[in-house]
């Protein structure tokens, strides 16, 4: 394990740290050439392949179990979507506008499902949902700060632009105390956004591109909502000592 | 057939009985992460037989004293 301070929430193994560095390097180098995306794949999937081959033993049984479950969840979700898409495209004279977007869709599906499942395994539904909402709200605030600084917006304008972040922080607070209420609100919010942005009908960007956007935007809300609705069922069964 | 494997454990009680052993110290003794001990104590994760035996050895008790099937669970 790494020698990071105890209060730091992440204690990766040296292999995970190196892999993270390779992923970041790969992402940065895509500015030079998209071939460097292969580095992202090596960093993200390489350690897992080495662990499965038994050449890397830096995870204990709980971590391996969590990773294997997350992988199975990713397979189930991606497999189901693959079946739906196959049925959709084979049932008529339909063409994919941008075949590259299909690969993007499956990368996003696999990665997001794996990440969510892993976070739920480590933190539990309630804490994961709360942290996702806090991250969402913080990102929105950072975006607003960057925009307002660039455009020299007045303090009042900054407050008005920041308002959309408030529901995320409020729901994070609500989720800790009344998870099912927060879960229901998140599900309703996800449904509202799908209606508001017209994602229920195929737009100009094409169905696959639209699905990728929807997963990235609605996925965290929907995932957190489902997790919070089922939060009580996963209450720990342990002694009161 | 609908077998249930709800397992109740007494790790926390035994851990605190051994000079207030912390989760990290127990994790170090059996070679796992603190997260694993935390998940076992919370009932979120049922350890393998190997780890259960290691935990029992640390506390000097039998595996049955650490882990029990919950009432209502069917015998399998």
Instruction: Quote ipTM for the complex.
Output: 0.81
How far lies B39's CA from each of A30, A191, A206, B69, in Å?
39, 34, 43, 17
A107 shares a domain with A74: yes
Domain closes at, from A59, A86, A108: A59
What tokens does B43 get?
A: 């009932």
* Residues of A with Cβ-Cβ distance to B14 under 8 angstroms: none
- Interatomic CA distance for residues B65 and B14, integer angstroms: 10
∠ CA A129-A131-A135, nearest 5°, is: 120
Last residue of a domain, one of A39, A59, A79: A59
A239 closest CB neighbour out of B10, B31, B51? B10
Residue B59 maps to a domain? yes
Same domain, A144 and A81: yes
Residue A240 located in a structural domain: no
- Residues near A47 by Cβ (< 8 Å), separated by ≥ 6? A15, A16, A19, A56, A58
CA dist A228 and A167 (Å) reads 16
pLDDT tens string B1-59: 555 568 888 999 999 988 788 999 999 999 999 989 999 998 889 999 999 999 999 99
What is the DSSP-derived secondary structure letter of residue B46? P
Task: Judge whether A122 lies within some domain.
Answer: yes
Residues in A closer than 8 angstroms to B9, CB to CB, are 238-239
**B6/A65 touch (CB, cutoff 8 Å), yes or no:** no
Q: Give a yes or no: residue B17 inside a domain.
A: yes
B50 falls within a domain? yes
Domain assignment of residue B53, given as a range: 7-69
Domain count for chain A, please give it. Answer: 2
Which of the listed residues A59, A76, A94 is the one where a domain comes to its end? A59
Give contacts of A61 with chain B, Cβ < 8 Å. Answer: 32, 36, 47-48, 51
Statement to judge: residues A7 and A70 lie in one domain: no
Tell if the CB–CB gap between B9 and A238 is shorter than 8 Å.
yes
* pTM (2 d.p.): 0.77
Let me know if residue A239 belongs to a domain. Answer: no
**Does residue A104 share a domain with residue A20?**
no
Contact B55, B12 (CB under 8 A): no
Interface test with chain B among A62, A127, A230, A237, by most B beta carbons within 10 Å: A62
Task: Verify that A8 and A46 share a domain, yes or no.
Answer: yes
Q: Which of B6, B41, B47 sits opposite A61 (nearest CB)?
A: B47
What's the number of domains chain B is made of?
1
Tell which residue, A28, A48, A44, has the closest CA to residue A36. Answer: A28
Check whether residue A174 and residue A102 sit in a common domain: yes
Taking CB atoms and an 8 Å cutoff, what residues of chain A touch B70? 237
pLDDT of residue A8: 65
Over 50: is that where the pLDDT of B75 sits? no
- Residue A241: name the closest of B24, B55, B11 by CA: B11
Residue B38 lies in a domain: yes
pLDDT of residue A238: 43
| Residue B5 contacts A where some CB pair is shorter than 8 Å | no
Q: Quick check: is B1 in a domain?
A: no
Its domain, for residue A3, covers 1-59
pLDDT at A40: 93
**Is the residue at A241 inside a domain?**
no
Mean pLDDT for the stretch of residues B57-70? 91
Tell me if B36 and A62 make a contact (CB, 8 A cut-off).
yes
Angle between helices A14-29 and A37-53 in degrees, nearest 10: 160
A1 and A104 fall within a common domain:
no
The answer to the question of residue A16 being in a domain is yes
Same domain, A154 and A227: yes
> Inter-chain contact A238–B45, Cβ cutoff 8 Å?
no
CATH number at residue B54: 1.10.260.40
Who among A234, A237, A241 is closest to B6 (CB)?
A: A237
pLDDT per residue rounded down to tens, chain A (241 residues): 455 666 666 677 888 899 999 999 999 999 999 999 999 999 999 999 999 999 998 899 999 999 999 999 999 999 999 999 889 888 887 777 777 888 888 988 898 899 888 888 888 888 888 888 888 888 888 888 887 777 777 777 778 777 777 888 888 888 888 888 888 998 898 888 888 877 777 666 677 777 787 787 788 888 888 888 877 544 444 443 3
Q: Output the pLDDT for position A70.
A: 94
Instruction: Please tell me the number of Cα atoms within 13 Å of A130 on its side-chain side.
Output: 15
Give yes or no: residues A42 and A65 share one domain: no
* A162 lies in some domain: yes
Beta bridge partners of B69: B7
Do A93 and A202 lie in one domain? The reply is yes
The predicted pLDDT at position A38 comes to 94
B30 part of contact set with chain A, CB < 8 Å: no
- Nearest by CB to residue B12, choosing from A65, A122, A238, is A238
H-assigned helices in chain A = 14-29, 37-53, 61-90, 99-123, 125-151, 155-162, 166-177, 179-196, 207-229
């Amino acid at each position: 394990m790494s020698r990071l301070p105890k209060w730091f929430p992440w204690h990766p193994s040296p292999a995970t740290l190196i892999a993270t560095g390779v992923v970041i390097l790969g992402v940065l180098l895509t500015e030079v050439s998209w071939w460097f995306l292969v580095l992202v794949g090596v960093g993200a999937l390489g350690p897992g392949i080495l662990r499965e081959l038994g050449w890397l033993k830096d995870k204990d049984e709980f971590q391996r179990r969590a990773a294997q479950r997350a992988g199975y969840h990713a397979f189930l979700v991606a497999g189901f979507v693959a079946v739906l898409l196959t049925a959709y495209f084979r049932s008529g004279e339909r063409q994919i506008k941008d075949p590259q977007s299909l690969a993007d869709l499956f990368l996003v599906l696999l990665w997001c499902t794996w990440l969510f499942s892993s976070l739920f395994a480590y933190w539990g539904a309630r804490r994961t949902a709360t942290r996702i909402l806090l991250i969402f709200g913080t990102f929105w605030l950072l975006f607003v700060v960057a925009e307002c600084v660039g455009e020299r917006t007045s303090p009042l304008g900054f407050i008005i632009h920041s308002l959309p972040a408030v529901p995320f922080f409020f729901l994070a607070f609500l989720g800790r105390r009344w998870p099912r209420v927060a879960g229901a609100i998140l599900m309703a919010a996800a449904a509202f956004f799908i209606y508001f942005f017209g994602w229920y009908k195929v737009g100009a960007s094409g169905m696959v591109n639209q699905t990728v956007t929807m997963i990235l935007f609605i996925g965290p809300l929907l995932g957190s909502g489902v997790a919070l609705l089922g939060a009580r069922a996963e209450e720990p069964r342990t002694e009161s000592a | 057939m609908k077998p249930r494997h709800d397992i109740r454990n007494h790790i926390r009680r035994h851990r605190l009985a051994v000079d207030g052993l912390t989760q990290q110290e127990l994790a170090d003794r059996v070679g796992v992460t603190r997260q694993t001990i935390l998940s076992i104590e919370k009932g979120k994760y049922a350890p393998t037989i190997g780890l259960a035996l290691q935990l029992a050895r640390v506390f000097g008790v039998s595996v049955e004293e650490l882990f029990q099937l919950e009432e209502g669970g069917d015998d399998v």
